Structure 1
Amino acid sequence: MAVQKIIITPILVFLVTIFFNVSSSSSSNNSQYQFLNHGVRSAYWPAGDDFSPSLIDTNYFTHILLAFIQPEPISFKLEITKSGIKWGQNFIKALRHRSPPVKTLLSIGGGGSNSTLFSEIASTKQNREIFINSTIEVARKYRFDGVDLDWEFPETQQDMFNLGLLYEEWYNALFAEAKVRRKPRLLLTSAVYYNSTVRLIGKHGPRSYPTQAINKYLDWASPMCFDYHGTWDNNTDFNAALYDSKSEISTNFGLHSWIKSGVRPEKLVMGLALYGRAWELKDPNVNGVGAEAVGPATDTDGSMNYNEILKFNKQSGANVVYDKVAISFYSYAGTTWIGYDDGPSITTKVRFAKSLGLKGYFFWALGKDKDWSISKQASNAWGH
């Protein structure tokens, strides 16, 4: 929009800019800002999952993220495989004209990605620029509404500093690209550790996220408030406890650490798990929280989808217990013990997030629910 030759006041410039941003949204007249004003109810869809994106019930979500795509280790550009092209095209096609509409984001990285590679990408301005330009190109090509970074996890404080630079340069590039193309700016989000300081065991010690950069450049950050305990522990415990009187490993502590670090609550989207963790008990008669275990109760890592847990509970006649302190459930039958969330605990956690003034919540992951029961209860608790 050429306005250089028109003499107008600063306030008119501001009003024209607002008008331009709103009127440049998609033909459905659903701008990025309309979605954000009503909060974020989002979920990740794992690419290649048996659960088709065409089955997603968009009544319960505002944003759906395709997970994951990886950068190439040499070029630092996003690697688009034949299967990735298929997933991306099917994903967008399935969600493009749904009613109610949802925004789509392309998520990069994930738990199985190479943290060292992301460290290298973020380490220099040239590397960051190559990576950023590639993400914009791919997101626009496949008609995504935004991009999401899931770097698990920056390993040093220098990594965290570089991550802040990446956020800043990424946002600036997105803003400039949108202005040139006269399109709404792509959203920029990032999945982060449940705590503002990563204290995972390692040689580099604690390292804290760049809170100022998160406030200034991200549309939101998504603390992953789950995987607190699992079969890597020798005792049963909850996957995603809201409270834990014995330690700092809880959603309550994690979210408050983010707010105390200076991140505004409206920049945070709380993670929720549609899966639990299953242990094999050493003694089936000792089956409470903290009971000694000998490993996973499944042939994988002990993770069980919510729909699988309900099936197990029914078929085995499991004892089901609601822990009012942790705000979580556990069930046990024979030597199997499972910690998980169900409707009442999810409802309480969503209301907790809302009470803190958070922007919303997200689920990992679509395809793990049972007939949308948890998704529906979370959406109702948020009050869309």
Structure 2
Amino acid sequence: MANQKFTKLIVIALFCEAIIGCDSVSPTIPPILFGPAQNPSSVAPILSPSYRPTPSPSISSPDPEVQKPLSPNPYPFYLLPLGQGIKAAYWPSFTGFPASSINTSYFTHIYYAFLLPEPATYRLNITSFDLEKLLEFTGTICTLNPPVKTLLSIGGGGNDPNVFSKMASNKSTRAIFINSTIEIARKYGFDGIDLDWEFPANDTDMSNLALLLKQWREALEKEANITQKARLLLTSAVYYASKITLFVVPPTYPGDAIGRYLDWVSPMCFDYHGSWDRVTGEHSALNDPNSNISTSFGIQSWFQVGVPPEKIVMGLPLYGRTWKLQDPNMNEIGSPAAGPGPGDGILIYSQILEFNNQNNATIKFDKLSCSFYSFAGPSWVGYDDVGSVKLKVRFALARSLRGYFFWALGQDLDWVIPREASNVWGYG
């Protein structure tokens, strides 16, 4: 009982510190700031860095409904038992990072990314490459210590959203898809299934998504009852906010169905800005006082459509976005840019450290966005480092979220960011 009281005091302290912030700023452990209500981005956050979003016409004429300030979090603060919650990461099968190199010490769940449904049949398409990688992943993960849960992720930034749209539009095609996912997940020893449909484009898609989730959850429960095995988990990676402003008429996710049928939902809180913009920006800003393109707004919007905080796992990037400055002397956030910078617009975290070191880059922490940026000559990089990631994990704790996930394994250096994030989550 004494330990429980002590744990509760620690978390309440974190919560209060997160809300009020602090006056002094350290470059490694900055204060949590809560900006004004903000507008969802008109540029898609993506799960696969190989994807390049393009601005939508809705950028110049945002949905007036999204301009309205959000009301306070309708859910009460709750306390996760010490050490519980989700600390997850995606393993991209296509990058060459070996599954045997995964350090499971800092994670509870690892996602395999990705499989795709076959466009004609809607069954999962297992290519020879997929077969090799599935065997590598599942054959390796089960030998690692400490053990972690595994989820099979379907879709990703390179998926054809029309395939998901057509599949979800009919009960029989939904059943074909669902049965295929269960079959493959069981065959290769996964603990769950993750849907990454990028993105439902309209209200019809969203209605069908709700039907898909309901039918999927019922099928998982039925299969578990028949086989007497633990039910497969069901999760989904989603747009960072509950309303997708990629489209001229932004559709809203079915919050009630998500809260009812998913074990958790994973907003992709990154790629708010990139080299498609004409100015520099922080692509995973916690706050943005000038717009609604921020994690704090996105998470709040999920509360407003009825998804409780204990069903939300917040996305964190292990990569940054780069620009070439028009004028090297104008090097702040929002400075004019002439196109992509190093790495053709993207650098993973280990490459950012190398860039900073080799170019003797100037490194800055931005208090408003709770992010870092660096520049050397005309090259500019916006990214998260240890300090800002620790801050964002504290934000997740303060908002009573279920946990966090990283895109992606293999992009870190010596596990420094997952280690520090795990320490914060464990109240360390």
- TM-score w.r.t. length of structure 1: 0.89
TM-superposed CA distance for 1:50, in Å, is 1.7
The one of 224, 232, 251 equivalent to 2:268 is 224
TM-superposed CA distance for 1:298, in Å, is 3.1
The residue identity in structure 2 corresponding to 1:228 is Y
Q: Residue 189 of structure 1 aligns with which residue?
A: 235
CA-to-partner distance for each residue in 1:311-353, whole Å, 9 max, x for gaps? 0000000000000111000000011000000001000000100
CA distance in 1: counterparts of 2:373 and 2:110, whole angstroms: 29
TM-superposed CA distance for 1:99, in Å, is 1.5
1:298 aligns with 2:332: no
1:267 aligns with 2:350: no
Correspondences of 1:268-283 after superposition (within 5 Å): 268-283=312-327
Identity %: 54
Q: Residue 288 of structure 2 aligns with which residue?
A: 244
Q: Residue 234 of structure 1 aligns with which residue?
A: 278
1:230–1:105 Cα change, 3 Å: same
Q: Residue 16 of structure 2 aligns with which residue?
A: none
Maintained 8 Å contact 1:35/1:62: no
CA distance in 1: counterparts of 2:209 and 2:122, whole angstroms: 15
* 315-324 vs 41-50, which moves further: 41-50
1:340–1:177 Cα change, 3 Å: same
Moved over 3 A (4+): 34-37
Maintained 8 Å contact 2:82/2:426: no
CA distance in 2: counterparts of 1:50 and 1:313, whole angstroms: 24
TM-superposed CA distance for 1:35, in Å, is 11
1:193–1:342 Cα change, 3 Å: same
CA distance in 1: counterparts of 2:291 and 2:336, whole angstroms: 18
1:35–1:111 Cα change, 3 Å: farther
Structure 2 residue matching 1:197: 3-state secondary structure: coil
Q: Residue 413 of structure 2 aligns with which residue?
A: 370
1:355–1:46 Cα change, 3 Å: same
Correspondences of 1:101-250 after superposition (within 5 Å): 101-200=147-246, 202-203=247-248, 205-250=249-294
Q: Residue 5 of structure 1 aligns with which residue?
A: none
The residue identity in structure 2 corresponding to 1:131 is F
The one of 123, 126, 134 equivalent to 1:77 is 123
RMSD of aligned alpha carbons: 1.4
The residue identity in structure 2 corresponding to 1:240 is S
Structure 2 segments unaligned to the other structure (5+ residues) = 1-79
Structure 2 residue matching 1:208: 3-state secondary structure: coil
CA-to-partner distance for each residue in 1:159-183, whole Å, 9 max, x for gaps? 0010011000000000000110000
Structure 1 segments unaligned to the other structure (5+ residues) = 1-33
Structure 2 residue matching 1:178: 3-state secondary structure: helix
Q: Residue 328 of structure 2 aligns with which residue?
A: 284
Correspondences of 1:8-23 after superposition (within 5 Å): none
Q: Residue 393 of structure 2 aligns with which residue?
A: 350
Structure 1 residue matching 2:405: 3-state secondary structure: strand
CA distance in 2: counterparts of 1:206 and 1:231, whole angstroms: 23
The residue identity in structure 1 corresponding to 2:308 is R
CA distance in 2: counterparts of 1:169 and 1:252, whole angstroms: 32
- TM-score w.r.t. length of structure 2: 0.80
CA distance in 2: counterparts of 1:84 and 1:180, whole angstroms: 28
CA distance in 1: counterparts of 2:94 and 2:155, whole angstroms: 15
The residue identity in structure 2 corresponding to 1:231 is S
- Tell me the number of residue pairs that the alignment of Structure 1 and Structure 2 aligns: 348
Structure 2 residue matching 1:247: 3-state secondary structure: coil
Tell which has more relative contact order, 1 or 2 (C-alpha 8 A, sep 6+): 2
